[in-house]
Amino acid sequence: MEGKILLIEDDADLGVEVQWYLERSGFHVQLVDDGDKALMLSKKQNFDLLLVDVQLPSFDGFELVKRIKVLKPEFRFLFLTARNAKESCIAGLKLGAEDYVTKPFDTEELLWRMNNILARGKEKKIEELKIADVVLYCSAMEVRVNGGKTLRLTAREFEVWKYLLQNLDRVLTREEILNKLWGESDYFMGRSLDVFISRIRKVLLNSNQLKIETIYKVGFITRLIRN
């Protein structure tokens, strides 16, 4: 997989190690050690993916992403977070991150997650999934509800939207969704799913025909509202 990567990491040793590994894997990587430098580069250049350390000098990775998204809303992000920092993981996903890895991480795992993100972004299938007043544009990873504004989705948000719409009026357990979409159902992935479901619920407030219900201690069901 090829791609242009911006790596923002203030740990010099880790940054150089990751840069070396990714460049050997075919990526072009620019490494900076603080948010100001990353912001300056983002204004001047385009990147396929940004790898953002949460703990940065001057201002943290979350603030950096907020500022960059104002300039380049199409940029995609993967956060590098401290081990077991579940608050950071959830906060990153709420900002629209595609994924995250926790430190210390295996560079092979990082590469696998990056390749998945980039591969999903390059899918060229021209298709749409229309259920009631909701249209999911699969090639663009966008959704429109009740004829309103088209919303851009992250890769993982898109996967959840698609799976829910394809399983209308069927109870889906949390474990089924997690294992079908991401192949694992641990605590962090479960919390991530909760974030995505919450976002989808908010969007579906504009729908007159679809809603998501929680089935206590089981999972979720996307219902068609029949008048």
| Mean pLDDT, residues 196-210 | 92
Fold of the CATH domain 4-121: Rossmann fold (3.40.50)
Q: Which residue has the tokens 């474990």?
A: 175
d(CA 225, CA 227): 6
Q: How confident is the model at residue 124 (pLDDT cuts 50, 70, 90)?
A: very low
- Per the CB < 8 A criterion, the answer to whether 114 and 29 are in contact is no
Structure tokens at 146: 């009740």
> 27-36, 98-107, 197-206 — which is least confidently predicted?
98-107
Percent of the chain exceeding pLDDT 70 equals: 89
| Four-CA torsion 29, 153, 120, 46, nearest 10 degrees | -30
Question: Is residue 126 scored above 50 in pLDDT?
Answer: no
Q: How confident is the model at residue 216 (pLDDT cuts 50, 70, 90)?
A: confident
Structure tokens at 160: 């959840």
Can you give the residue ranges of every domain in the chain? 4-121, 128-224
- Per the CB < 8 A criterion, the answer to whether 174 and 186 are in contact is no
Q: What value does the mean pLDDT of the chain take?
A: 84
Closest among 19, 12, 16 to 4, alpha carbons compared: 19
Q: How confident is the model at residue 203 (pLDDT cuts 50, 70, 90)?
A: very high
- Provide the pLDDT for residue 206: 93
* 199 vs 139: which has the higher pLDDT: 199
- Provide the pLDDT for residue 54: 87
Closest among 148, 134, 62 to 100, alpha carbons compared: 62
- Per the CB < 8 A criterion, the answer to whether 41 and 32 are in contact is yes
159, β-bridge pairs: none
CATH of domain 128-224: 1.10.10.10
Q: How confident is the model at residue 197 (pLDDT cuts 50, 70, 90)?
A: very high
- pTM (2 d.p.): 0.57
Q: If residue 49 lies in a helix (H) or strand (E), which one and from where to where? A: strand 49-53
